[in-house]
Chains A and B, each alone.
Chain A
Amino acid sequence: MAQFSWHMPRWFHQMGSPKWFYNFGGLLQPWFALAAVALLTCGMVWGLAFAPADYQQGNSFRIMYVHVPSAILSQSIFLSMAIAGAIGLIWKMKIAFMVARSCIAIGATFTLIALVTGAIWGKPTWGAYWVWDARLTSTLVLLFLYAGVMALNQAISERQIAGKATAILAIVGTINIPIIKYSVEWWNTLHQSSSFSLTEKPSMPAEMYLPLLLTVLGSYFLFGLVVLIRTRSQILQTQNGASWLLQHKDIYGAK
């Protein structure tokens, strides 16, 4: 029987090198910043100022241009964190743990924004800031999961061990997210179903969902940008004094 052998491409392993990631991330960073600013500005201005008002909700629906991207990102980031953690565990890559660590705070922030904007929107629409509806509850549980991951990551001072422990918790949490989602859905439902899908024809007019698409994409770039910045700064902390870093005049200053 022929032996099955398959290797990850070379760039994948290069990602594991702090030097390579630092330099390549530095190249990507301005482009991510540009894309995030351009997409978010266009989407926000379009959505908040020019998109038509909703025939039922009036102008209050416009908070969707902040709420929906945050809600989408809050779940994507948890998944990214678990994937980065799994890569770190499987290929023993320190950089992956740093990426996972960078994800925690920004993911928790997006979850919090989604909850707060949802509450602000819920008051005029449902008549209450908070209801124990399935989606709200599962987002709240997601925030608790982030809080647990963050607490664990900070409680262990040895970076390498903290990275592995966080990765295991993130993976277990990710397996649990769909179970939590479906169990609370069974339990109680009030939130309208998702009106935004890549595969189906949107249920709202183009001038309403195109700005939303822009803000969602812009938020992804913002997430990428923050992860790059935070991961690169962790590289600087751990690699302080490394010979490849000494060549960066902008860090150590011109002598």
Chain B
Amino acid sequence: MIRFISAIIRRDLLLVARQPAEMINPLVFFVLVVALFPLGVSPEASLLSQTAAGVIWVAAMLATLLSLELLFKLDHDDGSLEQLLLAPYPSWTLVLAKVFVHWLVSGLPLILISPLIAMMLFLPSEAVPTLMLSLLLGTPTLSLLGAIGAALVTGVRGGGMLLTLLILPLYVPVIIFGASSVAAAAQGMPVDGYMALLAAMFVFALMITPWAAGSALKL
């Protein structure tokens, strides 16, 4: 089973390496969305620093959703998904491997670039470690929850919009605790509670979602 998972991870990473746009596009999208806020709202530092936490989290969420559409779609279209599901391993292993690669490719770069974005939005520098940690705990949850939606809309026409409709309501708790933790850190308040809750959500999502996405793939 470990060999099955690692084989899928290696294969998917190789596919991404040969098509790096898949990795770069969500990142560019993330930066673009964030850049629209000063243009649309106000370039004033005091206002931006107050809204920075929420803006970064919303943008990260949208970037994750955008890249999730392709999670199973390409494999479904060329038929390899069917073959992978026929393998003598439970379908949740497949989901777990695919979500892990998705997070490596779309979640991790967001975390790495987030200090730069935070600086552009005048987020107080003492909140930056919290921002990175909250994204580190939160983005895997986003990828896991999104996998359910991606599995459900695989093979459905116009799946991208539908995926957004299905999954965004489920993201509400993550954005609340993610953004509040950063806001609390900016005010110099303790963030342990937020981090514990984000970690709890991650563990819970890790338990439930591979099973749900796996059974959705088999429909």
Contacts and interface: CB of A to CB of B under 8 A. Distances in A.
Does A pair with B? yes
B62 interface: no
B180 interface: yes
Contacts of A169: 148, 152, 166
A116 interface: no
Nearest to A176: B170
Nearest to B175: A183
Contacts of B167: 148
Contacts of A152: 152-153, 162, 166
A213 to B, nearest CB: 31
Where chain B touches its partner, the secondary structure class is helix
Contacts of A179: 173, 201
B39 interface: no
B169 interface: yes
Contacts of A176: 169-170, 173
Contacts of A156: 156
B172 A184 contact: yes
A4 interface: no
A120 interface: no
Interface of A: 89, 141, 144-145, 147-148, 151-152, 155-156, 161, 164-165, 168-169, 171-173, 175-176, 179-180, 183-184, 186-187
27 contacts: A144-B169, A145-B169, A145-B170, A148-B165, A148-B166, A148-B167, A151-B162, A151-B166, A152-B166, A156-B156, A168-B148, A168-B215, A168-B216, A171-B212, A172-B148, A173-B170, A175-B208, A176-B169, A179-B173, A179-B201, A180-B169, A180-B173, A183-B172, A183-B176, A184-B172, A184-B176, A187-B180
A-B CB proximity, top 6 nearest: A183-B173, A148-B166, A144-B169, A148-B165, A183-B176, A145-B169
